[in-house]
Every structure is written in C-alpha cells, then in structure tokens.
C-alpha cells in the first residue's frame, strides 16, 4: 500500500524534499530488471496528470508526482521547491499539493495550532483526501516536521488530528526534528512539550531525530575527512544524514528471523508458544514460518508498518530513534568516501566488511538499548524492542551470518529487515531503530527547562493570547514526565 508524505513547515519541507531526492537516487542506482525502482516508485510516487494545452508536445513526458502534501504558513520555501523542480528533476510536485499563507506562526505552538492551522484545516483535509484518492490504497501517512517552531509544532499536531479523524485505519507515523539543546527560539521548549504531549496520544509512532546527535556526528566526520574543521555544519548536511535513516525506513525490504545460536526446532517451537500475546504480528508470523523452514530463509516482504509494529507496539513506547553505520568518518579515503568538503555523499566503498560493521552496531545497540530497570518477565529484565536493518551486497548471507554471531551472546531474538541492495554506495550498511534511552534524557531536559520557564511565567503571554494557559502547559509537562521516566529506566 502507498505512503503519503505530509511535509509541514520550513524544516519539514526542506528535510522532506531531501528525503524524496534520496529515494529517487536509490531507485536510479538499481538494476532495471530487479523491480526495485518500480517498488519505490509505486509506494512514494504516482504518474503525472495528462499534459494539456501549451504544455503538451509530441512525445513529451512529465516527471512523476510525489505522493505528498506540502504545508507551510510562509510561502517562500515551498515556492523555491516548486521553482527548482520545475526547472528539471526526477519528480515535480503540483501546486495543488501545496498549502500556504502569507505569514508564519510566530514560533508559537498555540498560534500554529489554533490560528494558522485552523484557518487552513479544510484545505488540508481536501488535499489529504485528493492525495489518498489518487494513490489507490493508502496504508501510511508520514508527517515530517520540526517541533521547535510554530508551524512545525502547532500545524503538525493539527495535521495529525485531521489524519486520525479522516483516516482512522491508516498508520500515522511522524518524523520530528528535535531542536539543538543550546536553543533555536526562546519558546522552543514550550513548543516541544505541547507537541510531544499531543503526538503521544494521536500518532501511532514518532521517529525522533535529534539535531545535537546529527550535528555532533557531522562535525566529527568533517574534521576527520578534511583534517581540520572549517566553518559550521550546515542544515543541509544534517538533513541529508536524517534522510539517510528515513530512506532506510521506507525502502523495500525483506523480513528475516533472527535467532540465538545454538537453536533447535523444538526450542524454536516452544519459544513460539510462550508469551504469545502482546507480540508484534510480524514477529509471530516469523516464528510460525521458522517452525517449518530454515532459520536463514526469507519470511516475506516487509514495509514501514512492520518496522513501526516491531519498535512501537507498546502504547507507552511510541517514540523511537535510530542510528546508521558506518558513518562517513569510518570510510577510508581510498574508498571514495565523502564528497567535496567532506560531505560524505556518494560514497562507493568496498573495504568495509560485514563483520566489522556488525560488531560496531552490536556495541552501539548495547549502548542505546539497555534493558528496562524494574520491568521483568520470568525473572529476566525486559529488553527494549529494537530492529536491525541490513543493506548491501551479501546482506542475506554474510550479513545475516554476522548478525547471528553478534546476537548469539545477547538476549536479542526478533526480526531483521534485509535487502541485497547497496545503500548510498556502502557494501555493508546497518541501521538500528528503537526506543533509545536518550529519548528519555532529552525529554527530561526539555521538561526541566519548561518548568524553569513556568516558574517565572516567562513567555507565557505568547500562548495565553491564543487560549493556552499556564495550567495547560503544566498538564502537558505532567503527562510527558511519565513517558520520560519509562525511557530513562535503565
């Protein structure tokens, strides 16, 4: 089933178009006869309307339309995207897919939600319906936005409610960009708290991309690749790294069962029958197939809903994050690693082995996904749900073998998403997705900062003029403290 991407605000539209660009790049680098490009196209793009009038010329073909709705209260960014794609590109959004106003949301969640977003709610609903009807069957709505500013946080939450009301059976996945800890706008912590509190109840899952993580990684990579650090890391660079994870989430994939060695058929069967309730459907199906087939065999085709179900099935753990390995700093110069100024785009490296990448990923998984403290099942600490995504040559042979080796000494037993397609030129590429403890740390810091601001009533008048009082913000803080406590329990 198709996926409709809803890009909200300046950050959402810039990150979203980078994500679409990278999707197209992955499809273009595939073989013509393997069907990979066709899968990407059918999920995320649709044919352009028939040309008429002056635009029609004999033999003319139009680039496909992305399955998306673009929303921003200030028109500048969307106008720039339309202009750039009109001058040439692999896809071309239509003006009917775009919704704008002539003024922004004042870096204010309340303004974005109650004023700017509400004034365009009917247009938003019409665009969502139109895109859904044009896409055949829509299985997922993917909303991309930041939560620091007013449009991303406020309008993004209104879009979530509109989708939930209009399409109650569709998967609602949000990808949110968390602001730098040093601060981007003075009201950002209010905006973050109000947005995350609302999305906790509305969305099925929320992928969180923390600017600090990607900014620090880009800083280190640029220094390693160039020898010295010159200037600041651009938002374009950070967007490219975030889109690396988004693309990996949405590309076609196959589901494999990961088991602990040594394993026997009887052990697998008893494991299948134990604690069967509250297990992801994809994992249950994997176990059923594995009881009759080889452990290393492919189970079925996967989609983004399988990933979400595996890491965000628990209503208390809707927020998740991710990391991609290897990072560009790990690619030696002889492999063509990094573009100009150490951008790291267009890597084409064969020197990184599955074993080395998998060992690095295993160390990272132990760091990011420690067991929950105090949550036990059968006397064993409950493991955080996370998932491996492997892409590259021999992912289904060497990659799967390396994965079984690194997980043999751990308690991990679940599914992995594999595809023998080079990702961004890497011969061996691994992404990890799940509810990291860092999410709780970041939420806690945001809540502490919000409570400090509330104690002196700082900037609260910006929200009260739109009907959001101090008590409303405090209620959101209380709800999120419960969530933060679960994530930080290690």
CATH number at residue 6: 3.40.50.1440
Considering only CA atoms, which of 245, 286, 256, 252 is closest in space to residue 397? 256
Q: Are residues 182 and 257 in the same domain?
A: no
Q: Could you say which of 408, 435, 462 is where a domain stops?
A: 435
Most confident of 254-268, 287-301, 374-388: 374-388
Q: Are residues 40 and 132 in the same domain?
A: yes
Is position 208 within any domain?
Answer: no
Is position 421 within any domain?
Answer: yes
Strands 205-210 and 319-325: parallel
Q: Is the pLDDT of residue 401 over 60?
A: yes
Is position 365 within any domain?
Answer: yes
- In this predicted structure, what is the pLDDT of residue 361? 95
- In this predicted structure, what is the pLDDT of residue 277? 35
- In this predicted structure, what is the pLDDT of residue 393? 86
Is position 262 within any domain?
Answer: yes
Q: Is the pLDDT of residue 98 over 80?
A: yes
Q: Are residues 305 and 165 in the same domain?
A: no
CA distance 325 to 422: 13
Q: Is the pLDDT of residue 271 over 60?
A: no
Residue scoring higher pLDDT (382 or 108): 108
Is position 271 within any domain?
Answer: yes
Q: Could you say which of 203, 231, 263 is where a domain stops?
A: 203
Angstrom CA distances, 123 to 4, 105, 128, 218, 424, stand at 16, 17, 9, 38, 37
Q: Are residues 121 and 261 in the same domain?
A: no
Q: What is the torsional sign of CA 38, 42, 43, 46?
A: positive
Q: What is the mean pLDDT of residues 291-299?
A: 48
Q: What is the mean pLDDT of residues 137-146?
A: 95
- In this predicted structure, what is the pLDDT of residue 34? 66
Q: Are residues 154 and 303 in the same domain?
A: no
Strands 65-66 and 45-46: antiparallel
Residue 311 CA, chain-centre distance (Å), reads 12
Domain that includes residue 195, residue range: 2-51+61-203
Q: Are residues 191 and 302 in the same domain?
A: no
Q: What is the mean pLDDT of residues 188-210?
A: 98
CA distance 361 to 353: 12
Is position 197 within any domain?
Answer: yes
What end-to-end distance do the CA atoms of the chain give, in Å?
37
* Sequence-distant (≥ 6) Cβ neighbours of residue 237 within 8 angstroms: 218, 222, 343
Q: Are residues 190 and 293 in the same domain?
A: no
* Overall domain count for the chain: 2
Residue 237 CA, chain-centre distance (Å), reads 16
Q: Is the pLDDT of residue 335 over 60?
A: no
φ and ψ of 47, to 5 deg: -60, 145
Residue scoring higher pLDDT (59 or 362): 362
CA distance 319 to 455: 28
- In this predicted structure, what is the pLDDT of residue 242? 96
Q: Are residues 311 and 375 in the same domain?
A: yes
- In this predicted structure, what is the pLDDT of residue 220? 56
Q: Are residues 181 and 267 in the same domain?
A: no
Q: Is the pLDDT of residue 275 over 90?
A: no
Which percentage of the chain shows pLDDT scores above 90?
Answer: 58
CA distance 369 to 419: 24
**Least confident segment among 40-49, 143-152, 187-196, 328-337:** 328-337
């Amino acid at each position: 089933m198709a996926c409709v991407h809803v890009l909200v605000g300046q950050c959402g539209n810039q990150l979203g178009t980078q994500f679409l660009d990278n999707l197209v790049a992955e499809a273009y680098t595939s073989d013509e006869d393997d069907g990979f490009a066709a899968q990407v196209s059918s999920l995320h793009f649709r044919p352009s309307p028939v040309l008429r009038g002056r635009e029609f010329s004999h033999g003319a073909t139009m680039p496909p339309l992305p399955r998306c709705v673009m929303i921003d209260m200030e028109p500048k960014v969307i106008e720039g995207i339309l202009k750039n794609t009109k001058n040439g590109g692999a896809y071309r959004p239509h003006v009917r897919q775009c919704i704008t106003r002539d003024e922004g949301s004042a870096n204010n969640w309340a303004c974005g939600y109650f004023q700017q977003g509400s004034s365009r709610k009917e247009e938003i609903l019409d665009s969502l319906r139109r895109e859904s009807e044009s896409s055949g069957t829509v299985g997922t709505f993917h909303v991309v936005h930041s939560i620091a500013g007013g449009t991303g946080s406020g309008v993004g939450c209104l879009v979530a409610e509109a989708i939930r009301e209009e399409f109650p059976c569709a998967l609602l996945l949000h990808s949110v960009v968390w602001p730098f800890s040093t601060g981007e706008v003075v009201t950002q912590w209010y905006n973050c708290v109000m947005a995350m509190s609302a999305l906790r109840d509305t969305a099925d899952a929320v992928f969180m991309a923390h600017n600090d993580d990607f900014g620090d990684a880009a800083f280190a990579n640029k220094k390693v690749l160039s020898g010295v650090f010159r200037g600041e890391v651009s938002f374009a660079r950070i967007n490219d790294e975030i889109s690396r994870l988004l693309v990996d989430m949405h590309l076609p994939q196959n589901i494999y069962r990961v088991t602990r060695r040594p394993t026997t058929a009887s052990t697998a069967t008893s494991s299948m029958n134990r604690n069967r309730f509250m297990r992801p459907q994809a994992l249950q199906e994997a176990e059923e197939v594995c009881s009759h087939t080889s452990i290393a065999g492919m189970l079925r085709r996967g989609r983004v809903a399988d990933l979400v179900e595996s890491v965000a099935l628990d209503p208390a753990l809707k927020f998740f994050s991710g990391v991609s390995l290897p990072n560009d700093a790990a690619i030696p110069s002889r492999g063509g690693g990094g573009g100009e100024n150490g951008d790291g785009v267009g890597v084409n490296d064969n020197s990184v082995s599955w074993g080395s990448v998998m060992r690095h990923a295993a160390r990272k998984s132990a760091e990011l996904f420690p067991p929950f403290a105090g949550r036990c099942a059968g006397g064993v600490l409950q493991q955080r749900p996370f998932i491996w995504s492997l892409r590259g040559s021999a992912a289904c042979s060497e990659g799967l073998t390396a994965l079984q080796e690194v997980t043999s000494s751990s308690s991990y037993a679940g599914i992995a998403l594999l595809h023998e397609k080079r990702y961004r030129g890497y011969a061996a590429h691994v992404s990890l997705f799940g509810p990291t403890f860092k999410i709780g740390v970041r939420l806690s810091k945001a809540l502490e900062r919000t409570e400090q601001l509330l104690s002196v009533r700082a900037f609260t008048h910006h929200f009260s003029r739109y009907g959001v009082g101090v008590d409303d913000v405090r209620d959101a803080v209380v709800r999120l403290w419960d969530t933060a406590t679960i994530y930080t329990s290690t």
